[in-house]
Amino acid sequence: IAQWLCRLATVSRAASTFRVLPVGMEWPVAVLAVWSVTSALSLCSPNYYVLDDGAGLGRVFDGVGGLSGGGATSRLLVNYEEPYRGQILDYLFKPNFGASLHILKVEIGGDAQTTDGTEPSHMHYENDENYFRGYEWWLMKEAKKRNPNITLIGLPWAFPGWVGHGKNWPYDFPDITAAYVVNWILGAKQYHDLDIQYVGIWNERNYDSKYIKMLRYTLDKNDLEGVRIIASDNLWEPIALSLLLDPELSTAVDVIGAHYPGTTTVPDALKTQKALWSSEDYSTFNDEVGGGCWARILNQNYINGLMTATISWNLVASYYDKLPFGRDGLMTAEEPWSGNYVVESPIWITAHTTQFTQPGWTYLQTVGHLAQGGSYVSLTDGKGNLTVVIETMTHNHSVCVRPPLPKFNVTSQNATFQLKGSFVSIKELHVWRSQFNFKTKKPVFFEKQTPLTVMNGSFTLNLAEDEVYTLTTITTGQKGSYPDPPPSACFPKVYKDDFNVRNPPFSEAPDFADQTGVFEYYNNLTDPGPHTFTLRQVLTERPITWATDADQTISVIGDYEWENLTVTCDVFMESVRTGGVFIAARVDKGGQSIRSTNGIFFWVFADGTYKVTNDLAGQAVLAEGQSGTRAYGWHTLSLTVTGPLASGMLNGYPLWKNAVVLNPKNGWAAIGTHSFELAQFDNFAIVAQ
C-alpha cells in the first residue's frame, strides 16, 4: 500500500506541476492531493526512518566507558582535596548525573612509561607483591561506590623487567606473564573486593596466541572462569583471522578489541561472531570539536562497525598539560593545588547515550545514516523502553585525532521516524538536546526539552547541523551540577615536601609525575633521625615497554612556564661507586619524548664527582668536577637558574656557578637517578620567581 501511495503521490505532484491530470485519475488525485504531498511522499522520502523490533534485533549493547592509564592519565586526580575530588568522580561515574559511565578500564601498572608517565606494578620483582601501590585500586572502588554495576577491565601496557628475563618482550614465558596478570586480578578481589570482569591483551607489535591460551588456562585454574579476555586490544587483524583458523584460541577469546578503528571493522572480525569493541578510542582534545568527534563515533562505531562498546582514552585529563596529548579526556582536572576542574563537552555527549541505556540493552536493526548526513541509533531493553540517539555532526566539527576522517557533508534536514513493532503504542518521548552552535560560540549541552508527542506512531524532527538528540521513554535523565569550583591558578611558586607521611594514602607523593622509574614513599627504618620518611626510586631493572623511555629515571613537578627558580633537595645514593642522582630545572619534555628531554641537570655521583648537563642523557656537559659525594650519606643539592645563568650548591656551599644555559627557556622541576638504581630524596623545595 505504501509503495502504491508513493507512486500515486509522485503522479499527483507531477500532474499538478504540469496542470494536467491523467485520464481517469481526476477524483483519486483530487481526494489525495493534499494528503499525498504531506503524508504519502514521506513514505518514499529519503528522510523517513522506521524504528521497528518486529523483524528481530541487532547486537547486545555492552556500554560506554573511560580509560584510566596508558599511562598515568589520572595521576593528579588523587591529589585533589574534597569536595572537588568527589565532584569530579560524580561527573564521571554517578548514574543520572553526568557521563554516568558503564565501563572503567584501568592500566595494570608495569613500572614503565606508557604515554604520559609510569604507573607502579603490583610486582616490581618476582618475589614482591603489593596490592596498594598506585591509584587505580582507589579509582575502581570510587567508581563502584557510585555505580555498583560498572564493568571493570584491566590491561597491561607494560611489564616489570623480570617478566621478560632480560628481553624487552613479555611473551617468551607465557606461564610467567599469565601468572603475573592473574595475580593482579586475584589481588583486586582479595584486598579491595573488586571483581575484574575483563582483561585485555595488548602489544604494539602483535598478539601471542600461546600467551592468550595460557592466560585462559591460568584464569580457569584460579576459579576465574567468569573473567573474559579481550584480544588483541589493538588491531582487528591478524587476531580475527586467527580466531577463525584456531578453535582453541577462539574459545579463549570473548571480545575482539580494536584501538581507533575509525568506526569500521573487517569482514573476518564479523565472521567470528565475537563481540566487537572499540576498546580504546577518542584521544582528542576535549574542546567542542572533540565533543563532536565523540558524538559521531559513539553512534557510528555501531552503525558502520557493529561495535557494541566504545571506551575513551582517556577518562579524565588529570596530568600536566604540557605532557603529550594534553586535555585528551572526557573532562579536565589538572590543578589539584587550586581545586579547579572543567566539565567539558564530551561529558554531556556521553550522557546522551549512557543515561538512557544500560549494558544488556539491544540495538535495533533499524539504525543508520540520515539522508542529509548524520546518524541515528536505537536501543531497547526488551521491556517496551526505547532510546534513540541522533547526531548531525559536520566533518570539520567532528574530526578526531586519528585516524584520518574522509570528507562527508551534513546539512539541515527534517527527519520523520515511524515507530513499529512493540513501540507502536508509545505516545510520548522525552527529549534531550545538545547544540554546539559553532557560529555563535554559545553551545548548549544536554538540555531537557518539552516532551515530544507521538501521533499515529510517528514524529518529525527539524535537525540542524552539529546537534545531538536523545529521544527516550526513560524518565530519569538529569543534568547534574555543583557550584563552580575554585578559579584556575598556577602551581605554587613556593613549594616544599618533606615526605613525612607515616601512612600515606597513595604510594606516590603529591604532584610528582614519574616519567621513567617509580618514586614511592619510603619508611627508612635504618635511619630514625631526620630522614626516616623519604621518597625512594625503587626500580633496579629496566621495564618492558613499547614506549620510548629513558636510561635515567626522572619525576617532574611544577609549572612548565617556570623560568627562574631555585630547586633544593636532600639526596641519598644506595649504589656504591656507580650511583648517581640529580635535581633539575626547565625540564622541557615528558611522556614518550622523555629520552630527548633537555633542561638544566645538576648531578652528583657516588664516585665523588659532579656534572651539570643541558640534557637528561648527560651528553651536553656544561660543567663538571670533584664533589666528594659518596653513597650511603645524605647530601643537600641546590640549583638556581636565573636568565641564562645557573649555579649549584652542595651541602650549603657553592660548588659551581654561572654555567651558561641558553635553552630551554622554561620547564618543570625534577628529581631522578643516573640509572635504574635505588636512591632516596628528602626535603624537596622550590622557590620560583
Tell me which residues are annotated as active site.
Answer: 204, 280
Peptide bond into 68 cis (omega under 30): no
Question: For residues 13 and 633, what is the distance between their CA atoms, to the nearest angstrom?
Answer: 95
Cβ 387 vs Cβ 472: under 8 Å:
yes
Question: For residues 562 and 622, what is the distance between their CA atoms, to the nearest angstrom?
Answer: 21
B/e letters for 560-573, b = 16+ CB within 10 Å, e = fewer, are bebbebbbbbbbbb
Q: How far is the CA of 603 from the CAs of 520, 613, 623, 639, 672, in angstroms?
A: 21, 8, 10, 10, 9
Question: For residues 148 and 287, what is the distance between their CA atoms, to the nearest angstrom?
Answer: 30
Cβ 153 vs Cβ 70: under 8 Å:
no
**Per DSSP, what are the bridge partners of residue 660?**
645
Question: For residues 342 and 484, what is the distance between their CA atoms, to the nearest angstrom?
Answer: 9
Q: What is the DSSP string of 261-317?
A: -TT---HHHHHTT-EEEEEEEE----SHHHHHHHHHHHHHHHHHH---EEEEE-S-B
Q: Using the structure block, give the residue that is written with the C-alpha cell 508527542.
A: 453
One-letter amino acid for residue 440 of the chain: T
B/e letters for 193-204, b = 16+ CB within 10 Å, e = fewer, are ebebebbbbbbe
Secondary structure class of 181 (helix, strand, coil): helix
One-letter amino acid for residue 193 of the chain: D
Secondary structure class of 88 (helix, strand, coil): helix
What are the cell numbers at 91? 561527573
Q: What is the DSSP string of 311-368?
A: EEE-S-B-S-TTSTTTT-SSSEEEETTTTEEE--HHHHHHHHHHTT--BTBEEES--E
Secondary structure class of 39 (helix, strand, coil): helix
Q: How far is the CA of 327 from the CAs of 70, 73, 242, 607, 628, in angstroms?
A: 14, 10, 37, 43, 45
One-letter amino acid for residue 62 of the chain: D
Cβ 581 vs Cβ 629: under 8 Å:
no
Q: How far is the CA of 3 from the CAs of 34, 45, 156, 289, in angstroms?
A: 17, 11, 56, 41
Q: Given the DSSP bridges, would you call strands 198-201 and 151-155 parallel, antiparallel or unpaired?
A: parallel
- How many Cβ atoms from other residues are within 10 Å of residue 634's Cβ? 17
One-letter amino acid for residue 185 of the chain: I
464 burial via Cβ count (<10 Å: 0-12, 13-18, 19+): middle
Q: In the chain, what is the greatest distance between 2 CA atoms, to the nearest angstrom?
A: 112
B/e letters for 14-49, b = 16+ CB within 10 Å, e = fewer, are ebeeeeebeeeeeeebeebbeebeeebbbbeeebbb
One-letter amino acid for residue 442 of the chain: K
**How far from the centroid of its chain's Cα atoms is residue 164's Cα?**
27
